[in-house]
């Protein structure tokens, strides 16, 4: 192994990245007002962690995970996935384009641990990018030129796109050098958006294997701008979180790529998210919405629905858990509609507290205009909370209308109000949906079972 100095920085040479081809019915007795007093199993005691961590053999597969921001509340499912894959014997190294979404003192202990072991690209700044440029150019000039050519191929004559792709190019070399240091040869990216663009460049420069987990729907709305066709062609395989997501990739790609697409659903820990006693006893029907405060989530429509429910004489309160760019306009709307005594802005809620927020809820509502397949719906259903949401994208795969919850057309205020009012009035329906919802999660959205399915995909697709 040799070295030389670049701007006073020692540049060591090592081997390049290898191109390896290498239960609720008993809980409430049919009545939601008498939930099971069930103590949730902590994650460290969950069978998917404890059983495997104690007896698992040394890792037989190594995968580098790249995410736009890790850890982050809005994508907590990635952390859960990583932890269980490691427990199943995989060596998972994580990289993030951006730092965590909260300062260290506001992260859970598990999130802090993940943040500490994650390579954060932007924390290394310009010096880190210059070093990666120098190392890559000296170690693999042909790979460097392939990456540079991709900058111009994607950016064409658009100066803004050229600049953006040069940033992806630079970040990709940082990712590639990090992979080399960790002797990783397969890069897996969650979401087919900006981080996947960095992954595309990494694949082109370093000839590493490359795969994606596609959620939607944003990737489908701007397929051309996100270079989705290039990513689908370059990827060795693609994990789709729903049949809907797979259908959109089929629509956007030639038939010969369809064999790459594997459906593997997300999931939650039903031991952790198990029914809890209803915490509030003030007679108010509590409606909960958990999610980023963004236009896609439709919380403005939910405030309009709340006003109508109050006008009809319902004693209701809405709790919004999350933050985001729509918070100022939502607060202004609540004040304008005289709802300030009926809306609680909970702010962002960590995983160590989220179950107590769910425990206050009688109903869960997510009136989204655009979604992948919301994990918060799975969490609410697993805790026996009846759900009202919109009949869009992959949601009908999770909730059968009138069985596990109520589905309404997106943007339809009257339908949303009717659905909420129906569940407020109908105790029998609420109890039935609580039982059916948890059963659905246990059958198809159990975290351990679905991560084991993902592990089998990785094992089949990634050669040792």
CB 356 within 8 A of CB 334: no
> Does residue 303 share a domain with residue 165?
no
Give domain status of residue 160, yes or no: yes
pLDDT attached to residue 134: 98
> Does residue 320 share a domain with residue 257?
no
Rounded to whole angstroms, the Cα distance separating 72 from 99 reads 9
The phi and psi torsions of 187 (rounded to 5 degrees) equal: -110, 125
> Does residue 261 share a domain with residue 210?
yes
- pLDDT tens profile 160-219: 999 999 999 999 999 999 999 999 999 999 999 999 999 999 999 999 999 999 999 999
Rounded to whole angstroms, the Cα distance separating 377 from 288 reads 11
| Full residue range of the structural domain in which residue 67 is found | 3-16+61-267+447-461
Given a cut of 90, is residue 33 above it in pLDDT?
Answer: no
User: Average model confidence (pLDDT) for the chain?
Assistant: 89
> Does residue 237 share a domain with residue 316?
no
pLDDT band at 7 (very low <50, low <70, confident <90, very high): very low
Q: Which whole number is the average pLDDT over 389-403?
A: 98
pTM over 0.95: no
> Does residue 248 share a domain with residue 234?
yes
Q: Which whole number is the average pLDDT over 23-40?
A: 36
Give domain status of residue 44, yes or no: no
- pLDDT tens profile 138-161: 999 999 999 999 999 999 999 999
Rg of the chain over CA atoms, in angstroms? 24
Tokens of 190: 């969650």
Q: Structurally, how many domains does the chain consist of?
A: 2
Given a cut of 70, is residue 50 above it in pLDDT?
Answer: no
The structure tokens 């952390």 sit at 79
> Does residue 219 share a domain with residue 340?
no
Other Cβ atoms within 10 Å of 92 Cβ, number: 21
Give domain status of residue 164, yes or no: yes
Tokens of 192: 């087919």
> Does residue 343 share a domain with residue 208?
no
pLDDT attached to residue 434: 97
- CATH number at 416 reads 3.40.50.2000
pLDDT band at 18 (very low <50, low <70, confident <90, very high): very low
- pLDDT tens profile 378-387: 999 999 999 9
pLDDT attached to residue 281: 59
**Maximum alpha-carbon separation in the chain:** 77
Tokens of 306: 């709340």
- pLDDT tens profile 408-453: 999 999 999 999 999 999 999 999 999 999 999 999 999 999 999 9
Given a cut of 60, is residue 90 above it in pLDDT?
Answer: yes
pLDDT attached to residue 13: 34
Helix axes 159-181, 125-139, angle to 10 degrees: 70
> Does residue 238 share a domain with residue 297?
no
Q: Which whole number is the average pLDDT over 272-293?
A: 89
CB 406 within 8 A of CB 391: no
Rounded to whole angstroms, the Cα distance separating 441 from 459 reads 25
Query: Any alpha helices (H) in 325-425, and if so which ranges?
Result: 327-336, 354-358, 375-382, 395-398, 413-425
Give domain status of residue 235, yes or no: yes
> Does residue 452 share a domain with residue 432?
no
């Amino acid at each position: 192994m040799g070295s030389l100095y670049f701007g006073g920085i020692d540049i060591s040479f090592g081997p390049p990245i290898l191109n390896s081809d290498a239960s609720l019915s008993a809980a409430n007795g049919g009545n939601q007002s008498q939930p099971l007093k069930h103590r949730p199993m902590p994650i460290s005691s969950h069978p998917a962690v404890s059983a495997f961590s104690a007896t698992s053999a040394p890792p037989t597969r190594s995968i580098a995970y790249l995410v736009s921001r890790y850890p982050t509340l809005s994508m907590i499912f990635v952390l859960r996935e990583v932890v269980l894959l490691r427990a199943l014997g995989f060596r998972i190294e994580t990289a993030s384009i951006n730092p965590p979404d909260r300062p260290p003192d506001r992260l859970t202990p598990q999130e802090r641990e993940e943040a500490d072991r994650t390579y954060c690209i932007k924390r290394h700044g310009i010096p880190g990018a210059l070093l990666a440029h120098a190392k890559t150019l000296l170690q693999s000039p042909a790979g460097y030129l392939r990456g540079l050519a991709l900058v111009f191929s994607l950016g064409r004559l658009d100066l803004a796109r050229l600049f953006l792709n040069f940033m992806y190019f630079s970040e990709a070399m940082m990712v590639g050098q990090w992979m080399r240091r960790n002797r990783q040869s397969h890069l897996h990216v969650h979401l087919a958006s900006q981080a996947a663009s960095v992954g595309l460049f990494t694949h082109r420069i370093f000839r590493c294997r490359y795969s994606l987990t596609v959620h939607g729907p944003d990737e489908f709305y701007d397929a051309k701008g996100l270079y989705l066709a290039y990513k689908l062609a370059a990827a060795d395989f693609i994990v789709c979180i729903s049949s809907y997501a797979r259908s959109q990739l089929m629509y956007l790609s030639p038939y010969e790529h369809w064999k790459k697409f594997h459906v593997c659903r997300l999931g939650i820990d039903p031991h952790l998210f198990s029914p809890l006693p209803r915490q509030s006893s003030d007679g108010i029907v509590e409606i909960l919405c958990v999610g980023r405060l963004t236009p896609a989530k439709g919380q403005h429509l939910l405030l309009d629905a709340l006003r109508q429910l109050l006008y009809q004489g319902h004693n209701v309160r809405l709790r919004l858990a999350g933050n985001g760019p729509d918070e100022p306009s939502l607060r202004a709307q609540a004040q304008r509609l005289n709802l300030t005594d009926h809306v609680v802005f909970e702010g962002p809620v960590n995983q160590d507290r989220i179950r107590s927020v769910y425990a206050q809820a009688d109903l869960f509502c997510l009136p989204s205009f655009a979604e992948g397949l919301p994990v918060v719906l799975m969490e609410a259903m697993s805790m026996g909370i009846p759900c009202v949401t919109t009949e869009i994208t992959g949601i009908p795969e999770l909730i059968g209308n009138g069985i596990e919850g109520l589905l309404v057309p997106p943007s339809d205020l009257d339908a949303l109000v009717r659905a909420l009012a129906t569940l407020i009035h109908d105790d029998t329906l609420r109890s039935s949906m609580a039982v059916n919802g948890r059963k659905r999660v246990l059958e198809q959205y159990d975290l351990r079972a679905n991560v084991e399915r993902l592990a089998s995909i990785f094992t089949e697709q990634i050669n040792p």
